[in-house]
Amino acid sequence: MNHFLKKIPLFSSLNDRQLKLLEDIAIEKSYKKGSIIFTTGMKADGFYVLKSGKVKIFRSRGGKEQIIKVFEPPSMFGEAGTFMGENFPANAEAVEDSTILYIPRKQFLSQMREDPDIAFKMLAIVSKRLMYFVDLVESLSLKDATSKIAHYLLTRDKGKGRVEFKTNLVSMELGLTPETVSRTLSKLKSKGIIRKSGNMIEIVNRKALESLS
């Protein structure tokens, strides 16, 4: 677990002693696909670190669902409500069978008081999350389907030139219908901007994709 925790930005600078203390308070949990991890309004008594699988954070109202973010390992979620000592502002559901580490709030705060560097790192993570939400609001309200998908591919590419792309999940996250997503991908393919094989998309012409986003 020590090696895995090092991959999380919040814990990357911790020494072996500090990581051991964190391991001692972490509780490993398994969730089947479709299992609810927490719901809006539930008391945030701890946060989560995704070890394997996928988790979506979403809000729902009137039978409609808006995915806020889909997390892949290694990543942390549920920290905002936890560190504010409030309730979770959204729902979390396992998109795939997932293994998750649960970090109790009370014990972690005690460790954070002993190591202020963790507090500074948490501030940086929350700031990045805020920027993501600002970007999400802009994307949902101002961009058309092509711009949304181009932006999605570019932000998840991370220099690899390939992005895992599951149409149903992406359509929910971007507020589009699966049919609209499929049509848009077909247009991008016909223009030679991307190639698609199964659930993987290869970015062929990055400059063209950037201009569309």
- Tell me the C-alpha distance between 181 and 178, whole Å: 5
What's the pLDDT at 129? 64
CA–CA distance from 36 to each of 22, 96, 173 (Å)?
Answer: 25, 11, 18
Q: Could you tell me which residues come within 8 angstroms of residue 159 by beta carbon, excluding any fewer than 6 positions away?
A: none
Q: What are phi and psi of 47, to 5 degrees?
A: -120, 175
Cβ-proximal residues to 163 (8 Å cutoff; 6+ apart), any chain? 153, 156, 157, 200, 201, 203
Q: Using 50, 70 and 90 to split pLDDT, how confident is the model at 17?
A: confident
Model confidence pLDDT, tens digit, residues 76-107: 898 877 877 789 989 999 999 999 999 999 98
- Give the pLDDT confidence score for residue 109 in this predicted structure: 84
Would the pLDDT of 118 be above 90? no
Q: Are strands 98-104 and 27-31 parallel, antiparallel or unpaired?
A: antiparallel
What is the mean pLDDT of the segment spanning 190-213? 91
- pLDDT of 55 > 90? The answer is yes
Distance set, CA 68 to CA 34, 72, 105, 171, 187 (Å)? 17, 13, 23, 12, 26
> Tokens for 40?
């809006």
Angle between helices 116-142 and 105-114 (to 10 degrees): 120
Q: 0.85 exceeded by the pTM?
A: no
Q: Which of 115, 96, 61 is nearest to 168 (CA)?
A: 96
> Is 201 buried (19+), middle (13-18) or exposed (0-12) by CB count in 10 A?
buried
Give the model confidence (pLDDT) of 154-178 as tens digits: 888 877 888 989 888 888 778 788 8
Q: Up-side HSE of residue 14: CA atoms within 13 Å toward CB?
A: 28
Q: What is the dihedral of CA 164, 166, 171, 174, to 10 degrees?
A: -20
